[in-house]
Each structure stands twice: as C-alpha cells, then as structure tokens.
Amino acid sequence: MKEMEKMSNFIFAGCDTVELAKKYKTPLYVMSEDYIIDRCAEIKKDFLEKYPKTMAVYASKAFLTKEMARIIKREGLGMDVVSGGELYTAIEVDFPMDQIIFHGNNKTIEELEMAIENDVGRIVVDNIDEIQIVDNIAKKYNKKAHILFRISPGLDIQTHKYIQTGQVDSKFGIPLTEKTIEMAIKKALSMENLELLGFHFHIGSQLLENDNHIKAIRIMTRLMKDVKDKYGFITKELNTGGGYGIHYTEDEKRKSISYFTDAIMEEVEKNCQEYGLERPLIIIEPGRWIVGEAGITLYTIGAIKEIPGIRTYVSIDGGMPDNPRPSLYQAKYEAVVANKINEEATEVVTIAGKCCESADILIWDLKVPEVERGDILAVLSTGAYNYSMSSNYNRLPRPAVVMIRDGKDRLIVKRETYEDLLRNDI
Ligand code: LLP
C-alpha cells in the first residue's frame, strides 16, 4: 500500500514532493540544483567554450540566496546585481568581484560606493548624470571604475508591457539619440577615474524568439561604428542582456542557449566585419533561463468553494505573497496535484491564494483530478521571480526554500516565523 501511495506522488528532481511537503511544511519553494548545474554547463559548452572573448553572468534578481550565489560561483559564471542587497549577498559568499556587473537605473551613492570600494568588475551606467557620480566616487577611493553604458535601443517587443525594457519610452538606459550619445561618450572619455569599456542593452524578458536580440545587435553594432568614426572610441565589450524565455505553459517552450547565442554571435561577427570593427567581448545575462524551470512551489489545498454552474475555487495556503506574477503580469502556470499524479483530471478548478485580494488567483481553469482539503498542489516553473519578488502581504511569513541535488534535499532558506515578521517593528 505504501509503495502504491508513493507511486502516485509527483517526483521532482528525484524527490517525492509529498514527502517534502510533510517534512518542511507548505508553502514551500523547491529548487533543483541539478537543473541549475545543467543550464550552467550548457552555457559553458555551447557559448563560453564555443566562442572566445565571451562572458556569462547570472542575473541574480531572478533568484538569489547565499547558497544560490555559491552555486553560481562554483559553476564559474559571473553575476549581475542591481542593488546593494544583491551585492552584499555576493560579498558575503566571497563571490569574485571582478565577475560582478552592477546595474540599476537609480543606484544610490551608498550602493555605488559599496560597488567601487569592493572593486566590482563593471558598473553599467544608466544615465548621463551617473557618469560624474561614478567618477567622483572612484576618485574618492583612488580607483578606476570600469563602466558600460546601458543603451535603450528603441525596440518595441512582443512581451507583457511591464517586462519590456528596450523601447524608446523606458526608464532604463541612455536614449539612442545622437546628441545624448555624443554627450555621454565625450563626458566619460574625459573622466580620469573611469574607463568606458562599451555598451549594454537588455530588451525584455521571457522572449521565446531570437529576432529581437538580432534587431538590437544591428542597432548596437551600428552605434559601435558611429562612435568609432566620430570619437575614435573602440568598443571593447558588448553586453547583450538576458531575456531568454522558458516553459510555463504548453505553448511556451524553452529553447537551447545556442538558439539565442549562435544568432547573437553570428550577427555580431557579420556586422563587425561589414563595419571593419574588431569583435568586442560579448556578455550574456540570463536569469530566468537558468532558474525558472529549476523551481516548483508546493502548497496544501484548504477551502474548496463550488459556485454551481459557475466555478469552483480551490484555495491554497500561499498565493500572491509567494508568487505575485499572476496578479502583476497575468502570468500563466501549470500545476499538478502532487499526491494524485496518476489520477485522471476530471474537474476544472480555479486555484486561489489566501490573501484578502480578488486578484490573488494563481491559476484560472486548471484541470485536476477530484481534489480535497489536504491535497498537495505543485505549481511548476516557479524558480525565477517568485522567491525574489515575494512579500509579507497580509503578514504571511515567507516560505522556506529547499535545494535538491542528486535526489537529496537540504534547507537553504528557513521558513520565516511570526517573530521574523516583527523583528524590525518598534
Ligand atoms: N539583465 C538585465 C539588465 C535585466 O534587467 C534583466 C531582467 C536580466 C538581465 C535578466 O532577464 P531574464 O533573463 O531573467 O529574462 N519580474 C519579471 C522579470 C523582470 C526582468 C527584469 N530584468 C518577471 O517576473 O517576469
């Protein structure tokens, strides 16, 4: 009987998810280290080793804990950080600082000081103002700051408008107008404590096709030619951002890294040849692609409310505080009832979170077997931008995070307690 029960449970990364739910309670984030290692290996083999003069950094905003930073460090990728907090996490695990790229459209003076004092490899300057600020701080510490300019390439792309970032009307990056570029380049080249290495762009997230990266490369290589012709500036580095999509639902399929990077490299090589430019170091910054499918979230089903002829709401013990993406972006997820994995899906239900908020619906119209209170729901592909965007809304403690390697589970972030919620209350 025990074997039978086991057989019908959902196995993730070699672990019985129902057992994990029992051991650690729910809601619970479960991450597969094997999956993360596989993605890093793919990047190394099909990008870093295939092409000389390349660099890959993990966009840590997707999911960051000390253990995640250790894994990325061990796997040999660099890391993109966008805040003092992300940088602090990297510092705390002795992450090689020259492999850090520091982003942000409004880095504070304190954050920039922290970055420069700790010798981060590159600071991506997001606006003209920041050039002088970074130079001043570098001067204060008697250092030379290596910078890239984030350029907003002026592309409107097909993804949810909240995760588009490369369009003209964007808070990110230096706009691609001749006057602005001229001002930025001249200013940076005149600063004693700055070394301008090149340019960065990031056009958006959850992109399933490579055409937008190619379009952006055309724009950026053209810019490289212009700044060489006009100001004699040679671009040493071109950072092409992240944005590679993953599998959330049936019609979204994750593509190989080479689907994106081969296209990027081919386009860069072609344009550099045409323009008589030496090919710069090419950087990629995938976040979601490395961790998105590595994670699932386990919940316990509680209240079930059937409105005859209309809808059945199945409520879980988490929701928008641990996964704000459905309410923010209308993001879609797949899920399974972990303890009934082999049972036929005969019902269509709506998975509701437990917050006092009508928008707290995790999944509309999910096909499930007959469900009852106490069943375990596993929501898939929650590894990116779930834990990192989680909140304590309604004073719900954040779930624990468990990492799995070779079928063995270990706790990497403890579940928050009520005491944790009050820690800073005065
Ligand atoms: N590089 C830069 C400069 C970025 O701004 C981002 C993401 C990335 C790399 C990594 O993008 P990825 O490879 O993960 O797509 N919270 C949203 C996603 C926001 C992405 C912001 N920037 C979501 O949950 O969909």
Given the DSSP bridges, would you call strands 311-316 and 347-352 parallel, antiparallel or unpaired?
A: parallel
* Plot region of 399 (φ>0 → left; ψ -120 to 50 → alpha; else → beta): beta
Q: What is the CATH number of domain 64-286?
A: 3.20.20.10
The model carries a pTM of: 0.96
Q: What is the DSSP letter of 83?
A: S
Distance CA(257)–CA(271), nearest Å, equals 21
Atom of ligand 1 nearest to the CA of 325: 24
pLDDT at 162: 58
Q: Which residues line ligand 1 (CB under 6 A)?
A: 59, 62, 80, 103, 163, 165, 202, 205-206, 241-244, 285-289, 325, 329, 384-385, 389
Burial class (CB in 10 A: 0-12, 13-18, 19+), 149: buried
Question: Quick check: 379 and 335 in contact, CB under 8 A?
Answer: yes
For the chain, the structural domain boundaries read 2-31+292-422, 64-286
pLDDT at 1: 45
Substitution candidate for ligand 1 out of 61, 107, 162, 167 with most atoms within 8 A of CB: 61
pLDDT at 178: 86
Given the DSSP bridges, would you call strands 237-239 and 194-200 parallel, antiparallel or unpaired?
A: parallel
DSSP, collapsed to helix, strand or coil, labels residue 231 as helix
How many angstroms is it from 56 CA to the middle of ligand 1?
15
Distance CA(176)–CA(203), nearest Å, equals 14
Do the domains 2-31+292-422 and 64-286 sit in the same CATH topology, yes or no? no
- Note every long-range contact of 373-376, with CB atoms under 8 Å and residues 24 or more positions apart, other chains counting: 373/301, 373/302, 373/303, 373/304, 374/300, 374/301, 375/300, 375/301, 375/337, 375/338, 375/339, 375/340, 376/17, 376/18, 376/21, 376/26, 376/298, 376/299, 376/300, 376/301, 376/337, 376/338, 376/339
Residue of 72, 24, 37, 62 whose CA lies nearest to 381: 62
Nearest CA to ligand 1 atom 5: 202
Over its length of 426 residues, how does the chain's per-residue pLDDT go in tens digits?
455 545 689 999 999 999 999 999 999 999 999 999 999 999 999 999 999 999 999 999 999 999 999 999 999 999 999 999 999 999 999 999 999 999 999 999 999 999 999 999 999 999 999 999 999 999 999 999 999 999 998 886 656 665 556 667 788 999 988 899 999 999 999 999 999 999 999 999 999 999 999 999 999 999 999 999 999 999 999 999 999 999 999 999 999 999 999 999 999 999 999 999 999 999 999 999 999 999 999 999 999 999 999 999 999 999 999 999 999 999 999 999 999 999 999 999 999 999 999 999 999 999 999 999 999 999 999 999 999 999 999 999 999 999 999 999 999 999 999 999 999 999
Residue written as token pair 């290596």: 146
Question: Quick check: 154 and 219 in contact, CB under 8 A?
Answer: yes
Cα dihedral: 359, 360, 366, 371 (round 10)? -140
DSSP, collapsed to helix, strand or coil, labels residue 148 as strand
Substitution candidate for ligand 1 out of 43, 150, 170, 285 with most atoms within 8 A of CB: 285
Nearest CA to ligand 1 atom 19: 163
Q: What is the DSSP letter of 119?
A: T
**Four-way CATH pick for 2-31+292-422: 1.10.10.10, 3.30.530.20, 1.10.10.60, 2.40.37.10:** 2.40.37.10
Phi, psi of 94, deg, nearest 5 = 55, 40
How many angstroms is it from 342 CA to the middle of ligand 1?
35
Active-site residue list:
356
